[in-house]
């Protein structure tokens, strides 16, 4: 009744506005009148009533959803601490910055599923359980650390991504219902990828690919008759005088991760079968690496052409950006072609069976009651969340990247004199395009040189892993306790290194302004439980990774004797270093 009657009413009103007084219904409208056994005025009144009810219902649904959104935003304040941790991760690490887009995609795709279910509100009070679990994990992660260890794999059971997934699942169940939660399994599951690249990938994926990329670029340069002159294993550098180089970081991991996640989402939207979906994802990752190799080889060709031409040499850095942008544009067009193609699965789009209108849109009282329940539950954790938002400051490394510290200011934070050791030079090192390490070299009357360094990002980095990534093999790695300034005993994770050119002894520890602890990773298998987890986030009291390294020219002495001599020299150096004060300067 509604569509034909409204059509006739619209035509009648339009003609009345133009001054017509003779408005006759069409034959279809007359047929409808006879079937309904209604006089034409009754048909007009019924259509107007139906139209008014539709407008009223739409406005009511809008106000209900607005109230639910307000309750959700208020409840999210209690998640401020893990959300801020994720934000720092995304903004401090270019490799993991895609996480913020993954969270945005999760929200948009969940709303897409909800819209296909006609915004039905079949919520259940059981949704408060996962919301409460999310708040509980927020409260525990500052006091208790649960880590599942399986060999080299460490899984944090209180990770921010798990908190976010639990809260989102609870909100969907509370307002949308079980059916919405089941249909939105993929969008909600994307929140588990808010930390998109696990730390384990650095050792087993990133580092081997860095070596592979450098070797391929080096071999291609030799193939075209212009071999590089630098023979370092993981670095291929070209004429730094005009700012063009191919370094280990050019391994294509960022592009591979981005294309892999894009292919995952495209496969979901195309409703591809599992095997074809897996093919999409693997193909996206491999395509990212292939594009990076093409970029590296293109840079080698450009380098070959640019040498001897000052204009091209000056334009080298921009050429790198242009080549990368063109390759990414081609990839984007490829994904658009897949997107606009026919769906790989011709099955129905899981359209739900229509529900009665009385159950699809419950009364305002039922919806607002659940929103009020979420609001009341969120009142208690809202206070610490608001305090976290108020006192949050970006990490020290982010402050350096933002220009709040110049290289000279960073160098001035290092002690000028350590016992009879005097500072000789200071410098910074980068990781993922940002300053990550501040180092200083100290010399004394002896032949040895001692390097003292600080890891700037807010994480428990161990320098032995960095040196291992550079091709150095730590020997006799163990815990060694040294007495530092003010008679403070500090346990260091120490190891001996010898590469045929330099012999060295190095140690790493985690220090706060109050004390220092051992920094070696947890070993073994099982569930590790810690009552006082190490805090890398709270400015003013966070743990900072510090390290030292004693180096001498290589000799043919036995390794045990060399290690003993270097250990004594290390004790002479660290005995004059106040590591707690050093940590305080880099808060």
Give the Cα-Cα-Cα angle 223, 225, 229 (nearest 5 degrees): 100
Pairing of β 153-156 and β 236-237: unpaired
Q: What is the pLDDT of residue 192?
A: 95
For 444-483, the pLDDT digits (tens) are 876 678 999 999 988 888 898 888 867 788 988 999 999 9
Give the pair of three-digit tokens for residue 469: 């990534």
CB count in 10 Å sphere of residue 48? 13
Give the pair of three-digit tokens for residue 350: 């899981």
Torsion 352-353-357-363 (CA) sign: negative
Q: What is the pLDDT of residue 277?
A: 92
What do you get for the CA distance between the two ends of the chain, in Å? 71
Residues in a beta bridge with 150: 153, 525
Q: What is the pLDDT of residue 230?
A: 43
Helices (H), 244-363: 253-269, 274-306, 310-314, 316-340, 357-360
CA distances from 560 to 387, 447, 475 (A): 53, 19, 10
CA distances from 278 to 254, 263, 275, 392, 440 (A): 19, 9, 5, 40, 48
Torsion 244-245-246-248 (CA) sign: negative
* CA–CA distance, 398 with 94 (Å, rounded to integer): 12
* CA–CA distance, 188 with 168 (Å, rounded to integer): 7
* CA–CA distance, 88 with 315 (Å, rounded to integer): 34
Q: What is the pLDDT of residue 2?
A: 45
Domain ranges of the chain: 2-53, 62-196+362-391, 200-340, 400-585
Q: What is the pLDDT of residue 240?
A: 42
User: Residues of the chain whose pLDDT is less than 70?
Assistant: 1-58, 145, 149-153, 202-203, 206-207, 210-211, 214, 226-251, 313, 316-317, 339-364, 432-433, 446-447, 469, 520-532
Give the pair of three-digit tokens for residue 525: 């298998």
Give the pair of three-digit tokens for residue 443: 């010399």
* Whether 385 contacts 78, CB under 8 Å: yes
| Prediction pTM value | 0.69
* Whether 271 contacts 238, CB under 8 Å: no
Phi, psi of 115 (to 5 degrees): -65, -35
Q: Convert 289-324 to b/e letters by CB count within 10 Å (16 or more is b).
A: bbbbbebbbbbbebbeebeeeeeebebbeebbeebb
Helix then strand then coil, in percent of the chain rounded to 5, is 55, 15, 25
Strand, coil or helix: what is 398?
helix
* CA–CA distance, 111 with 361 (Å, rounded to integer): 17
CA distances from 90 to 94, 95, 97, 158 (A): 7, 8, 4, 18
Q: Convert 489-506 to b/e letters by CB count within 10 Å (16 or more is b).
A: ebbbbbbbbbeeeebbbb
For 250-294, the pLDDT digits (tens) are 567 888 888 899 999 989 998 889 999 999 899 888 888 888 888
* Whether 517 contacts 491, CB under 8 Å: yes
């Amino acid at each position: 009744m509604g569509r034909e009657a409204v059509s006739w009413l619209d035509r009648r009103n339009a003609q009345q506005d133009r001054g017509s007084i003779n408005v006759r219904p069409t034959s279809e409208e007359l047929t409808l009148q006879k079937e309904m056994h209604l006089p034409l005025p009754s048909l007009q009144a019924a259509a107007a009533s139906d139209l008014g009810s539709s407008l009223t219902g739409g406005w009511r649904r809008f106000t209900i959803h607005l109230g639910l959104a307000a309750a959700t935003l208020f409840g999210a304040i209690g998640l401020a601490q893990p959300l801020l941790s994720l934000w720092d991760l995304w903004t401090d690490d270019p490799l993991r910055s895609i996480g913020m887009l993954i969270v945005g995609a999760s929200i948009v795709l969940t709303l897409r599923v909800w819209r296909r279910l006609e915004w039905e509100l079949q919520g259940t009070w059981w949704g408060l359980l996962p919301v409460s679990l999310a708040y509980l994990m927020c409260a525990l992660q500052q006091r208790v650390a649960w880590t599942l260890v399986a060999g080299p794999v460490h899984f944090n059971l209180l990770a921010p991504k798990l908190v976010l997934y639990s809260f989102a699942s609870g909100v969907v169940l509370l307002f949308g219902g079980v059916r919405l939660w089941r249909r939105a399994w993929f969008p909600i599951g994307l929140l588990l990828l808010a930390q998109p690249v696990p730390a384990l990938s650095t050792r087993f994926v990133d580092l081997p690919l860095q070596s592979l990329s450098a070797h391929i670029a080096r071999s291609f340069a030799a193939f075209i008759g212009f071999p590089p002159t630098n023979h370092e294993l993981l670095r291929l550098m070209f004429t730094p005088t005009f700012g063009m180089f191919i370094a280990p970081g050019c391994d294509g991991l960022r592009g591979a991760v981005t294309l892999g996640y894009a292919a995952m989402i495209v496969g979901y939207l195309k409703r591809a079968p599992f095997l074809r979906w897996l093919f999409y994802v693997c193909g996206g990752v491999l395509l990212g690496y292939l594009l990076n190799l093409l970029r590296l080889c293109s840079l080698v060709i450009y380098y070959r052409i640019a040498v001897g031409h000052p204009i091209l040499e000056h334009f080298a850095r921009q050429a790198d950006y242009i080549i990368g942008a063109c390759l990414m544009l081609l990839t984007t067009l490829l994904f658009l072609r897949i997107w606009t193609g026919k769906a790989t699965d011709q099955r129905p789009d899981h359209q739900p069976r229509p529900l009665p209108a009385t159950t699809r849109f419950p009364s305002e009282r039922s919806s607002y009651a659940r929103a009020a329940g979420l609001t009341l539950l969120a009142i208690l954790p809202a206070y610490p969340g608001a305090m976290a938002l108020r006192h949050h400051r970006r990490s020290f490394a982010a402050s350096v990247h933002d220009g709040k510290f110049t290289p000279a200011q960073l160098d001035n934070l290092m002690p000028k004199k350590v016992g009879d050791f005097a500072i000789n030079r200071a410098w910074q090192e980068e990781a993922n395009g940002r300053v990550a390490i501040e180092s200083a070299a100290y010399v004394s009357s002896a032949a040895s040189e001692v390097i003292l360094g600080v890891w700037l990002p807010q994480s428990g980095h161990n320098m032995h892993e960095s040196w291992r990534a550079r091709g150095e093999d730590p020997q006799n790695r163990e815990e060694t306790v040294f007495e530092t300034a003010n008679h403070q005993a500090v346990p260091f994770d120490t190891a001996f290194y010898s590469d045929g050119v330099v012999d060295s002894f190095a140690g790493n520890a985690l220090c706060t302004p109050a004390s220092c602890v051992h920094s070696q990773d947890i070993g073994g298998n099982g569930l590790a439980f810690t009552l006082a987890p190490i805090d890398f986030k709270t400015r003013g009291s966070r743990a900072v990774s510090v390290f030292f390294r004693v180096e001498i020219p290589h000799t043919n002495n036995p390794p045990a004797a060399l290690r003993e001599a270097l250990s004594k020299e290390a004790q002479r150096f660290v005995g004059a270093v106040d590591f707690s004060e050093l940590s305080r300067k880099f808060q």
